[in-house]
Amino acid sequence: MKKTQLGIAALGTLLAFGAQAAAPDWSKVAKRDIQVFHAGVTPIEWLMNKQEHSGKTGISKGESCAGCHEENGALNLDFKRLASKELEPVAAPKTMKFPVAMQAAYDAENLYIRLSFKSPTDAGAGADKEDKAPLHEVKAAIMFAGPKVGMGPQVGCWQTCHTDVRSMPGADPKKKKYVKDANVAGGNYYDYIQWKSGEAGAGATQVDGHVAAERVNKGGQALTKADGECKAGLCTVTFTRKLSGGEGDLALAEGQVIPFGIAIHADKTVHRFHHVSLGYTLGLGAAADIKASK
């Protein structure tokens, strides 16, 4: 009897854990649209140059980019200027912005994030595209700012974008994204996860990395799975991430608020030829731009 009772108890524990760790019912999780846009050559140095970007004054006072440029879910950016040769000297896409529906949930073990969007296929003719297999039609990434990233909650992932990184005018073609004075142990870095669609006989892949002194596309241990599918241009990408991981993985906990940004590479583009979001916050059961449900 005792062995039977122990077996039943163990089975109950396993079932309870399985239910706890199961992906959420997305039909019951709130959605929030986040607009992503083609930002051209507007790195952090541009943002903080008052002659080029009048918003520097607000940022210096602690205001966020979204607080100034988002109104009722829409962006009030000067898209004509962003598409001009001044800010996009190579090739602006025809679709300068599009919405990404974001949902988030968590349990004792994992954070779950779902992104849904219609991926455009009208990148500029001169945009940097992958020229070797596997060609990824679409890539979707989320970048989480560490607690010591300067202005992280205000600017999202802009602290990784600089005038001297590859594909910026006149920059070193080998220089990757980085964070100035990066320190992983000290929290001055970005944790990021990415899903890449598959093509040319290759399956989809995922990245669990971070951006510190440079972008590193490996080493993370928190991303359990990145699932994605695109049909007729409609894409759905779901990330399952453990709350804790290894080096470069931000440790997450209930009640925490994490600054983040989204990046979508559409139409086989790479490097800066993507659509990015402004900076937003994700709360695990806490008030934020996106509140993950438990």
Task: Return the domain boundaries, the chain.
Answer: 28-292
Round to whole Å and give the CA distance between 42 and 188. Answer: 22
Predicted pLDDT of residue 135: 74
* Parts of the chain with a pLDDT under 70: 1-21, 130-134, 199-202
The three-class DSSP label of residue 39 is coil
Round to whole Å and give the CA distance between 145 and 258. Answer: 7
230: its two tokens: 């695109």
218: its two tokens: 């490996």
Among the residues of the chain, which ranges form H helices? 2-21, 44-47, 56-60, 65-69, 79-82, 152-155
Give a three-class secondary structure readout of 240-291: EEECCCCCCCCCCCCCCEEEEEEEEECCCECCCCCEECCCEEEEECCCCCEE
136: its two tokens: 């990824």
Cis bond upstream, residue 134 (ω within 30): yes
The three-class DSSP label of residue 172 is coil
Round to whole Å and give the CA distance between 209 and 219. Answer: 6
Predicted pLDDT of residue 131: 63
Predicted pLDDT of residue 73: 86
Q: How many CB atoms lie within 10 A of CB 198?
A: 14
DSSP letter at 146 equals P
253: its two tokens: 């906990």
Predicted pLDDT of residue 201: 56
Predicted pLDDT of residue 130: 63
Q: What predicted TM-score, i.e. pTM, was given to this entire model?
A: 0.91
CATH number of 28-292: 2.60.40.1190
Predicted pLDDT of residue 211: 98
